[in-house]
Amino acid sequence: MRKSRVKESKLKAFVQSLICINVLLIGVPALATENLEQIWNIALQRNHLLAASQQKEQSAQHQLASAQANYLPKLSLESGYMRTESEPAAKVNIPALPMLKGTTLPFAQDSAYFGGLSISAPLYTSGKISSAVEAAQAQSDATLARTQLTRSDLKLAIAQSYIAVLRAEHAVKVSSSHIAAVSKHVDDVQALFDKGYAAKHDLLATQVAMANARQLGLQANNALELARAALNRWLGREYERVVAIQDIAGFGKEFIHSDLPVLLQSASNDRKELQELSKQSLAYKKQASSVAAAHLPQVGFTAGYSKLENRYLAEDKGWYVGVVMKWDLFDGGLIRHQASQLSATARAINEMEADTRERIDLQVRQSWLTQQETRARMQLVDKAVEQAEETLSLARERYRSGLAPNSDVLDAEARRLQALSNRDNAIYDHEFARLQLLHAAGQL
């Protein structure tokens, strides 16, 4: 009966090992692996947020072209047909000719065609057009900065999903290693129990540890599937599709200056949020100037050719040319209040820019400190794994020799599992901290 239980236990362990091997094989497709740059290119090409931002950028370009078009002459063609109830006429009242009193003289016919071609152009607008063009240019620059900011934010989010897959893949490997180690210890305890050298308590404790290890394996595999689904969403692929990506050593790392003042200066110069807010403030200031200019003289040129069908006129067609000035002297404060509203909005954006600058300085400092911390962890984890492996080996040997309790082996394996997890977390925390620092410094 006891031999049957031993065989059954070994069979279960063998089946579990096969399951873990199959899971790992499924996660390694026979496809060319993709690195982070390739993933970025694919994801950004089909991202809807980036596409929307690019459309807004085109919209701002059209707005700029529209403002610049106000400098150009306007050519208009006008034509029509007019019909009146009767011929327009003027009453004649000449005291020297009393016999003509009450007589009417027509001066236009009751139906006529008319048409004309005119051209007009601004000569002097007191800065109204130039300020509007500068406002449109600033707004266009702001939308460009927004597009670049969207791209940078998306790259960081995509990189986070990419690293999450790598982290989950290594977690699956660590859990498989944990299952294998616990399974080996279960075999040792079972063998000693069959010979009467181990207590029932030891066997039950190792079986509980084995069940916990299997649960950890299930959780690791589920986390891997979730991470792959999240990355596939960025790529526009089926959620269940297996992704094959290169590990951290598979793509080059950009150099990051370790001097914090240099990073802070880089963020101040290159962060797109600051550029966007600065250009938006300038746009509102120029819009205020354009609106305020409407209170000043507006001078324009006009010329054209017109024709009016009228048999009573000696000449019913001809050319004309002229200079026109318009000056709104009083409008009840309408223009002044509109300009003040735009100026207040510009000042509000300046305050937002100042707050954003402070927040970015803090973000750079936090990212820099995080990278320093992860770099220090990287120098410790390999040695910790090596020591944990050696500790486990010694604990097993001492247990088989009857010099150490079963709990020492389980504790040593738990510490080895923690050391492996710490090593992987340190590696991927360091890589993500590097990317976060690039993003914070405006270099991603």
DSSP H/E element including 414: helix 406-440
- The whole-model pTM stands at 0.81
Q: Is 310 helix (H, G, I), strand (E, B) or coil?
A: coil
Query: Which tokens is 238 given?
Result: 């089926």
Q: What is the pLDDT of residue 270?
A: 92
Mean pLDDT score across all residues of the chain = 87
Instruction: Decide if pLDDT at 199 tops 80.
Output: yes
Instruction: Decide if pLDDT at 355 tops 50.
Output: yes
Q: What is the pLDDT of residue 9?
A: 52
Compute the distance between CA of residue 95 and CA of residue 134 in angstroms, rounded to an integer: 65
Instruction: Decide if pLDDT at 30 tops 70.
Output: no
Q: What is the pLDDT of residue 6?
A: 46
Compute the distance between CA of residue 176 and CA of residue 23 in angstroms, rounded to an integer: 10
Instruction: Decide if pLDDT at 253 tops 80.
Output: no
List the alpha helices (DSSP H) in 256-333. Answer: 260-270, 272-292
For residue range 48-79, list pLDDT tens digits in order.
999 999 999 999 999 999 999 999 999 999 99
Determine the length of the chain.
444
Q: What is the pLDDT of residue 22?
A: 45
Q: What is the pLDDT of residue 103?
A: 76
Q: What is the pLDDT of residue 104?
A: 74
Q: What is the pLDDT of residue 439?
A: 94
Instruction: Decide if pLDDT at 5 tops 60.
Output: no
Confidence of residue 249 (pLDDT cuts 50, 70, 90): low
Q: What is the pLDDT of residue 26?
A: 43
Confidence of residue 309 (pLDDT cuts 50, 70, 90): confident
For residue range 124-136, list pLDDT tens digits in order.
999 999 999 999 9
Confidence of residue 254 (pLDDT cuts 50, 70, 90): low
Q: What is the pLDDT of residue 267?
A: 93
Q: What is the pLDDT of residue 344?
A: 96
Q: In what order do the strands lie in the sheet with 298-308?
A: 74-83, 111-124, 298-308, 317-326
Compute the distance between CA of residue 135 and CA of residue 143 in angstroms, rounded to an integer: 12
Which of 212-226, 269-283, 302-316 has the weakest average pLDDT? 302-316
Counting Cα atoms < 13 Å in the Cβ hemisphere of 408 gives 15
Q: What is the pLDDT of residue 291?
A: 93
Contact between residue 136 and residue 60 where contact means Cβ atoms under 8 Å apart: yes
Instruction: Decide if pLDDT at 40 tops 90.
Output: yes
Compute the distance between CA of residue 162 and CA of residue 44 in angstroms, rounded to an integer: 14
For residue range 98-115, list pLDDT tens digits in order.
766 667 777 778 888 889
Question: What is the rounded average pLDDT of the residues 24-34?
Answer: 55
For residue range 333-343, list pLDDT tens digits in order.
899 999 999 99
For residue range 359-410, list pLDDT tens digits in order.
999 999 999 999 899 888 888 888 999 999 999 999 999 988 888 898 899 9
Confidence of residue 215 (pLDDT cuts 50, 70, 90): very high
Query: Which tokens is 296 given?
Result: 């000043």
Nearest to 88 by CA among 319, 308, 320: 308
Instruction: Decide if pLDDT at 34 tops 80.
Output: yes
Confidence of residue 1 (pLDDT cuts 50, 70, 90): very low
Q: At what angle do helices 128-194 and 406-440 cross, to 10 degrees?
A: 170
Confidence of residue 264 (pLDDT cuts 50, 70, 90): very high
For residue range 174-189, list pLDDT tens digits in order.
999 999 999 999 998 9
Q: What is the pLDDT of residue 248?
A: 76
For residue range 416-438, list pLDDT tens digits in order.
999 999 999 999 999 999 999 99
Compute the distance between CA of residue 34 and CA of residue 242 in angstroms, rounded to an integer: 12
